[in-house]
Structures are given as C-alpha cells and as structure tokens.
Structure 1
Amino acid sequence: MRLFLLPVSTRRSLIYCEKLHEKAAGERGYLDKLTNKASETWVAWESDAKAPLNWKKRVTQMGNQALNRIPFEEWGLKTLPALTTKRKLAITEGTEKWQVMYPGLYLQKERVPEILKKLATEKQGMYRSKMIWSIVAMPFTAPFALVPIVPNLPFFYFVYRAYSYWKALAGSKHLEFLLQHNLPTPNPSTELDEAYTAGLMYPTRDISRAAPTPTQEQSEKVANVVESLTNGGKEDVMVLQRWNGKLIAEQFHLPDMEVEIERAVEQVEQSIKAKDKLVEEKLELEKATAAPGQTATDALPKHVTQPLEEAEKRIHEAAEKISHEKPSKDEKA
C-alpha cells in the first residue's frame, strides 16, 4: 500500500493513504453502510431547494464550514484503515508492503520518520479524550429531538465527531504499528518533485498544464530558493499551492486526494497569515512608543532589524530567480 507524505509548508505536512479498492456492496459492514447513507443524504440536502426556509441547504453550508475547520492532520489520519488482526499479521509476517511517497527535493529523507512518528503519536490522547466526551454529550442532546421537522442536529454532530475522532485514533495507531515494524519504506518521487516545482514556478493551473515539465535542474534550483527563504529553518514557507492539488491527484489517479490537499493548504495559509498579523500588531505597538520621526522598524534594536532586512533581501533575490526559471513564450511555442 502507498502512503503520501506531502509537505504543505516547510514545517507542516499532510499524510494521505491510497485506497486500493472500494468494497463491494455485499462486503460492506453496518458501519460502512451507515457512513455511505449519511454521505448520500448530505449530498442530497446540499441541492435540495424545496425544504421550508431552505433549511437543508443552510444546514449543509454551516456544516461544511465546520468540517473545514477540522485540522487537516485529523483528516489525513482518517484515510488510513483500521488496524485489524489480519492486517497486523500481514505486517509482522512481511506479506504486506508499505511505502511512503514524498517529494525528495522538498522534504529531506532524514525527516520522514520523524514527521510520521509525530503524526502517529502526538495527538492520540486528544483524539481518545474528545471521542469519549462526544459520546458522553450524546444523551444530553436528546431533548432536541422534540423540535418539529428539523432532525436532531446536535445529536448527529456529536455522533459524527465521535466517529471522526475514532477514525483518526485508529489511523494513528495503524501508523504507529507500521513504524514499530520499520515501515513504511521511504520512496522519494520524481513526479512529486516536478509537480511541486511546477506549482511554485507557474501562477495558475492552466498555465502549469500547458507548460513543459520542469527539468531536474529547475527543480533543484527552485528547491534551493525555498530553502533559502526559510532563513535556516526559522521561517515557515508555503511549498504547495491550492490549485496544484488537482494536478497531483490526477497524476496519481487519486481523486479524493484533491480535497485533502486544498483543505490543508487553506488551513496552513491562514495559520501563517495569522502569525504575520501578530508581527504587524507588534510593530504597531513598537511604533506607538517610538520617538517622534521614527518608524516601528527604527525603534527596534539592531539585532532584531538585521534578520528582517536579510530576509527581505533573500525574498527579492528568490523572486528574481524563480521568474528567470519561467519559460518565455518562444520557449513554450
């Protein structure tokens, strides 16, 4: 089986497990059938405009917003199957092979086991405790069943969250078990290197489709530029574009991967922007206390401003390098 470890930024990565095949209708258990039924109902509600006050569409819109706030790490772990006795035996006997695909130019091989271990173990306790609290909260939502027409949405919310936490916990335990048996095997992917490079070189999906595949030399140069922007690992830099998720998913024939990448990119971008906003607010406070005629930067000590000036210089140089890597119209023709 294949795992994908996709760096979203230089500090945060998404894990995704490839689904080998869908179960036949006769092989599905009660939980699988219930999950499929819930998904079908949700999709039907999204397009139902006949409900009074359009409540079904409103519920799905608010629900989708809530789902997008669930950390992408949790979504990624949920793609791993539960660790059954049969799978344990296959892993220990060596009959089931696992490999992890990752862009070798944008993620060092030495970091792969460390990242996987962190994803597997860091939040197991949180998933377990929140799953229990969601189950405990279910009976307290029973009175909402008395509301006419509208189903008991609070109850179903806690049911879903309990199930989601259980899936993430099961996925994390599966990943931990694999690591204990020296699996999965790291497998750097040239295809992922090219996809990441194209996402950083070109501004849109359409241009990336039409442009030639980046060369190895171009990929190495762009990867070096990204590394320089991190300021020795101190800064978190985006390496994956939201629009690029569809291209990566198409390349590996994994359509479900697209939404996972888009969600992860959106969450990481918001996180980085929030940190930048805090820095701006700090500078405004410094400006308020600065001497007349000084800017916020002028009021800062030299040991603080010097790294900022160096980072700005590196960003300017990096932008020039990347622009030089983009093929001209004549080259594309």
Structure 2
Amino acid sequence: MRLFLLPISTRRTLLYCEKLHEKPPNQRNLFDKVSIKANETWAAWEKDDKAIGNWKKKVTFYGNQALKRIPYEEWGLKTIPALNAKRKQDILDGKAKYEVMFPGLFLQKDKVPGILESWAMERQAMHRKRLIWSVVIMPFTAPFMLVPVIPNLPFFYVLYRAWSHWKALAGSKHLEFLIKNNASPTPNPSSELDEVYTAGLMYPTREISRAAPRPTREQAESVAQVVEQQTNGGTEDVMVLQRWNGKLIAERFSLPDMEVEIERAVEQVEKSIKAKEELIEEKLELEKATAAPGKEAKDHLPKEVMESAFASERIEKEIKEEVEEKAEEVSQKAKQEK
C-alpha cells in the first residue's frame, strides 16, 4: 500500500492513501453497494434541472459547501482503508508492504515518523466522540420524514457524518496498528514530487507549468532553499503548494481522486493562515485606536516579534520575486538552446 505525505505549508501536511483496486460487482458487500449508490444519486442530483423549485441542485450546492468545511485531516484519514483480520495478520507476518512517498526537498525525512504518529493518534478521541454524538442525534431527525416529496435530509446528513467519523477513526487505527507493530511505512523521498512542487513555486499557472521545461535538480534545491529561508528558522508558516498544482501531482501518479483532496487542503490552510494574520492586524488596529500614544503593547514588544507578526506579506513578496527570477533564467536558457 502506498501513502503520500504532501506538505501544504511548511507546518501542515496532507496524508493521502492510494486507493486499493476496486472490487468487482460480485465481491461488493452491502456497505460498498450503498456507498456507490449514494455517490451516483448525488451526482445525478447535481445535474437534475427538472425537480420542483430546482431543489435537488440547491441541496447539492449547499451540501458541497458543507463538505468543504470538513477538515482536510478527516478527509485524509478516510482514504486509509479499515483493517480486516487478513490484513492484520499480513502486517504481523511481514507480508503487507507499506511505503510513504514525500518531496524530500520540502519535507525532511527525519520528520516523517513523527508526522505519521500524529496523524494516527491526535484525532482519534475527537472522531470517537463525534461518532457517538452523531448516533445519539440520529433518532431526533426522524420527524423530518413527515415532510412530503423532499427526503429526510437532516437524517442523511447526520448519518453521513457518523460514517465519516467512523471511517476517519478506522483509518487512524490502521496507521496506529502499523506504528505499534513496527511496520511503519518505509519513507521514500520522491524526486518526481520535488519536481512538481518546484514547478508549482516557479510558475504562476498550470498552463505555463505544463509548457515550461521540467525543473532541474539544481533549480529544485535552489527553490527549496528559498522557502527554508523565508520560514525565519521555522518560525513562519509558508505555503509550498498551490491549489492548481494538485491536478499536476494527481496526473503524475495517475491518482485522479488526489486532486480534490489537495485542492481542499490548500484552500483550508490558506484561509487559516490568512485568518491568523487578519486577527493580529485587527487587534493591533483596535489597540492603536484606543490606547494612548506610547502605551500600546507593540511599543513594548521586541523588534523581532513585531517583524515576525507581519512577515507573511514580506515573505510572499520575496518568494514571488525570487521565483520570478528563476523562471526568467529558465526562459532565457530555453531561448538560447533553441
């Protein structure tokens, strides 16, 4: 089984598990059949223009907005299949082989075991608690069955959330079982991931990235060094993955489902970083408007703390400038070769 650790920023990483081969129809259990039917129904509703008041499209629109709010960590854990008796025994016997791929220039190899352990352990209690609450709430949604025409949407939503928390919990337990039985996935730094990450930082769009020459190893190392410098010794959280780059990574490894997971994770991390920056700015602006001159908290903070608080804009600008310089060098070199 192949896992991927994909840094979204210098502090946050997405875990993705490559899907096992899909079971043939005659080997699918009831759970598989229900999941497939639910996906097919949802896809059909998204295209249905004939429903009264266009309610099916509205339901899928607001439903998709709600799904975007589910943390990317939960989605990542859900990609790991639940353990069954056979796979447990294969792990104990050393027959089941696991590897974890990651961009070695953008994620240090010695950090991989710790990241896997945190993914396995940190969210178990939360998913277990929310699974229980979802099951408890489910009976209270029964009265909505009396609404004519429209299905009992509250019930199905709570049912979905219960399933989602169970799936994430099962994925984290699978990972925990590997770690506790000394069968942790073998770290495998990927030069292909280094290349795609570098292209995402060097070029502004997917189209330009496709048309441009593939980054060399020297260019990849240079870009990774620039990112490391912008973290100010690890104190700053710097984005290393672009939303549009998810498609290129998914294509490189022939994993179409990975694209959605990457785009969702990038969007959530971007919003989180931006919200933190805005909160700091709002607090300082409020204090500036209410405090007496020379009495503001920032006047008593060390210079390096203030620089760190507002470093993100500077970091983004510096990275953009250095990356543009690298892209210009590549462009000039390509013209000379022609």
Establish whether residue 332 from structure 1 lines up as the match of residue 322 from structure 2. Answer: no
Partner of 1:143: 143
**CA separation of 1:297/1:200 partners in 2, compared to 1, >3 Å: closer, same or farther?**
farther
CA deviation string 1:252-299 (max 9, x = no partner)? 00000000000000000000010010011022123214666x9x8984
Query: Which amino acid is 1:73 matched to?
Result: E
Between the aligned partners of 2:116 and 2:229, the Cα distance in structure 1 is 25
Partner of 1:187: 188
Partner of 1:104: 104
Between the aligned partners of 1:178 and 1:252, the Cα distance in structure 2 is 24
Residue aligned with 1:105, SS: coil
Between the aligned partners of 1:218 and 1:297, the Cα distance in structure 2 is 43
Between the aligned partners of 1:311 and 1:57, the Cα distance in structure 2 is 39
Query: Which amino acid is 1:167 matched to?
Result: K
Alignment map for 1:64-103 (pairs within 5 Å): 64-103=64-103
Q: TM-score, normalised by structure 1?
A: 0.94
Alignment map for 1:233-252 (pairs within 5 Å): 233-252=234-253
Alignment map for 1:238-277 (pairs within 5 Å): 238-277=239-278
Residue aligned with 1:278, SS: helix
Say whether the 8 Å CA contact 2:277–2:310 is kept in structure 1: no
Q: Give, in angstroms, the shift of residue 332 of structure 1.
A: 3.5
Between the aligned partners of 2:249 and 2:189, the Cα distance in structure 1 is 15
Identify the range of structure 1 (225-234 vs 162-171) with the bigger mean alpha-carbon deviation: 225-234
Between the aligned partners of 2:313 and 2:145, the Cα distance in structure 1 is 58
**CA separation of 1:100/1:309 partners in 2, compared to 1, >3 Å: closer, same or farther?**
closer
CA deviation string 1:113-138 (max 9, x = no partner)? 11111111101011111111111111
Alignment map for 1:268-307 (pairs within 5 Å): 268-289=269-290, 299=299, 301-303=301-303, 304-307=305-308
Query: Which amino acid is 2:334 matched to?
Result: K
Establish whether residue 172 from structure 1 lines up as the match of residue 197 from structure 2. Answer: no
Alignment map for 1:23-42 (pairs within 5 Å): 23-42=23-42
**CA separation of 1:36/1:241 partners in 2, compared to 1, >3 Å: closer, same or farther?**
same
Between the aligned partners of 1:314 and 1:104, the Cα distance in structure 2 is 22
Q: Give, in angstroms, the shift of residue 224 of structure 1.
A: 1.0
Identity value in percent: 65
Residue aligned with 1:326, SS: helix
Unaligned runs of 5+ in 1: none
Alignment map for 1:306-317 (pairs within 5 Å): 306-307=307-308, 317=318
Residue aligned with 2:242, SS: coil
**CA separation of 1:78/1:310 partners in 2, compared to 1, >3 Å: closer, same or farther?**
closer
**CA separation of 1:290/1:332 partners in 2, compared to 1, >3 Å: closer, same or farther?**
farther
Partner of 2:225: 224
**CA separation of 1:309/1:158 partners in 2, compared to 1, >3 Å: closer, same or farther?**
closer
Residue aligned with 2:150, SS: coil
Partner of 2:212: 211
Identify the range of structure 1 (186-195 vs 275-284) with the bigger mean alpha-carbon deviation: 275-284
Q: TM-score, normalised by structure 2?
A: 0.93
Number of aligned positions between the proteins: 332
Q: Give, in angstroms, the shift of residue 66 of structure 1.
A: 0.5
The two structures, once aligned, show a CA RMSD in angstroms of: 2.1
Say whether the 8 Å CA contact 2:144–2:152 is kept in structure 1: yes
Say whether the 8 Å CA contact 1:286–1:299 is kept in structure 2: no
Q: Give, in angstroms, the shift of residue 308 of structure 1.
A: 5.7
Residue aligned with 2:55, SS: helix
Query: Which amino acid is 1:174 matched to?
Result: H
Between the aligned partners of 1:135 and 1:315, the Cα distance in structure 2 is 45
CA deviation string 1:107-166 (max 9, x = no partner)? 011111111111111010111111111111111111100000000001001110110001
Identify the range of structure 1 (256-265 vs 314-323) with the bigger mean alpha-carbon deviation: 314-323
Between the aligned partners of 2:210 and 2:311, the Cα distance in structure 1 is 35
